[in-house]
């Protein structure tokens, strides 16, 4: 699936996340700043995750790997 990726948190837990941008091709734009509503994060059981993990992933995507 396009827009589906995985993130390993500092504690070793792996989370699946999906980008759902409007329009869909916006996920490839270098100038796009992802909104929290466009990021869906799931744990190993497929339950949606909110909070610190989602914020961390969102920050890393928006900063494109640059130090904060």
Bond from prior residue into 23 cis (ω within 30 degrees of 0): yes
Q: What are the residue boundaries of the structural domains of the chain, listed by start?
A: 4-63
pLDDT at 2: 59
pTM for the full predicted model: 0.80
Q: Using H for helix, E for strand and C for coil, what is the string for 3-26?
A: CEEEEECCCCCEEEEEECCCCHHH
pLDDT at 29: 87
Q: Is 56 helix (H, G, I), strand (E, B) or coil?
A: helix
Q: Is 39 helix (H, G, I), strand (E, B) or coil?
A: strand
Q: Residues 8-67: pLDDT tens digits?
A: 988 899 999 999 998 989 988 888 899 999 999 999 899 999 999 999 999 998 987 554
């Amino acid at each position: 699936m396009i827009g589906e990726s995985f993130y390993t948190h500092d504690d070793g837990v792996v989370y699946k996340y999906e980008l759902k941008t409007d329009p869909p091709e916006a996920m490839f734009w270098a100038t796009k700043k992802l909104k929290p509503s466009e990021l869906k994060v799931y744990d190993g059981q497929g339950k949606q995750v909110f909070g610190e993990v989602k914020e961390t992933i969102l920050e890393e995507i928006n900063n494109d790997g640059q130090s904060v």
